[in-house]
Amino acid sequence: MNPQLAVGRLSHCFGGLKAVSEVSFEVGEGSITALIGPNGAGKTTLFNLISGTIPPQTGSIRLDGRELAGLPPYRIAELGVCRTFQTTRLFPRLTAIENVMVGRHARSRAGFLAGLLNLPYTWREERAIRQRAGELLEELGAGDCADEAAGSLGFRKQRLVEIARALAAEPRLLLLDEPAAGLNLHETGQLAGLIRRIRERGVTVLLVEHDMSLVMDISDRVVVLNYGRKLAEGTPAQVQSDPEVIRIYLGGDHA
């Protein structure tokens, strides 16, 4: 597999705290890679760095060889990296389908003037945006709530809409921040199927997740972070048998 995402010696400090320190890893094209580690290990910070929400202080982030570090988030989204958030961040007053339509933003072009004047070429574009958004909601099983305000949706539906919204931007790399948090066993099983289907669409997936059975079930590779540093990396089987990893997860006694 070719590396689609190559993170090289990435570091970021908040004040004196090294949230991410000299982290390097690669994500193969078309793979599912999981980032795991105890709370405060720097997983979400790493996501924020890759998606550009926080500009990295040092290090490089390359997507298909192209440097992303220092680009603003909207540019990174245009280049093909989209994300969901740990606590879903839908636009609460927009309907579910409108949320997904915002996801099409990077793949459509009607500008301010065209909008003000309601130019005819925007009509077709709007129709296409709405149709695509509707299809995605259907595909993810949230088609029934398309016209409901996103803020009033149930927790699980919000998750699905957020994933649909990220997929609407046609990312090459999808970042999922704890997609299973708050889901029950059955729903987590459905999520695993969904993530696999996303991969089959040709989207590379990088996820942060605490649910180890999900991680070990779907991941091709696992990267373990601890105190901002990369502790281990490998296949789920390799990582599971790594004594260091067992020690940080289960405590010293089990090593």
Partner 1 sequence: MRRYLPVLILAAVVIAVQLVVRAAGAVYYLTQATMAAYYCLVTVGLCLLMGYAGQISLGHAGFFAIGGYVSAFLTTLRLEAAAPASRFLSRLGVLAERQDLYENLLLGVSPWAALAAAVLATALVALVIGLPVIRLKGHYLAMATMGFGLIVFRVLLGTRFLGEADGIGGVPPLPLFGLEVSGGRAHRVESYYVAWALVLAALLLAVNLIHSRVGRALRSIHGGEEAANALGVNTTRYKLATFVLSAVFAGVAGVFLTHYNGGIGPSEAASMKSVRYVAIVAVGGMDNLWGTLIAGALLNFISLRGYLGSYDDAFFAGILILVMLFFPDGLLRPRWLKRGAP
Q: Is 147 in the site for partner 1 (CB under 8 A)?
A: no
Contact call for residue 77 and partner 1 (CB under 8 A): yes
**Under 8 Å CB-to-CB from 186, ≥6 apart: which residues?**
none
175: which strand partners? Answer: 83, 206
Binding mask 180-219 for partner 1 (x = CB under 8 A): ----------------------------------------
According to the binding rule CB under 8 A, does residue 145 interact with partner 1? no
Count, residues near partner 1 per rule CB under 8 A: 41
Alpha carbon separation from 165 to 3, 139, 179 (Å, rounded)? 25, 12, 14
Where helices occur in the chain by DSSP H, the ranges are 43-50, 73-79, 96-103, 112-117, 120-139, 155-168, 185-200, 212-218, 236-240, 243-250
Instruction: Check binding of 50 to partner 1 (CB under 8 A).
Output: no
Confirm or reject binding of residue 102 to partner 1 (CB under 8 A): yes
Q: Under the criterion CB under 8 A, does residue 120 sit at the interface with partner 1?
A: no
Q: How far apart are CA 246 and CA 252, in angstroms?
A: 8
Residue 93 binds partner 1 (CB under 8 A): yes
Least distance in angstroms from the C-beta of 230 to partner 1: 24
Phi, psi of 169 (to 5 degrees): -80, 5
Whose Cβ is closer to partner 1: residue 74's or residue 193's? Answer: 74
Q: What is the CA radius of gyration of the chain?
A: 19
The Cα–Cα gap between 96 and 83 comes to 17
165 lies in the site for partner 1, by CB under 8 A: yes
Binding site for partner 1 (CB under 8 A): 51-53, 72-74, 77-78, 82-83, 85, 89-94, 98-99, 101-103, 105-108, 110-112, 114-118, 122, 125-126, 129, 165-166, 169
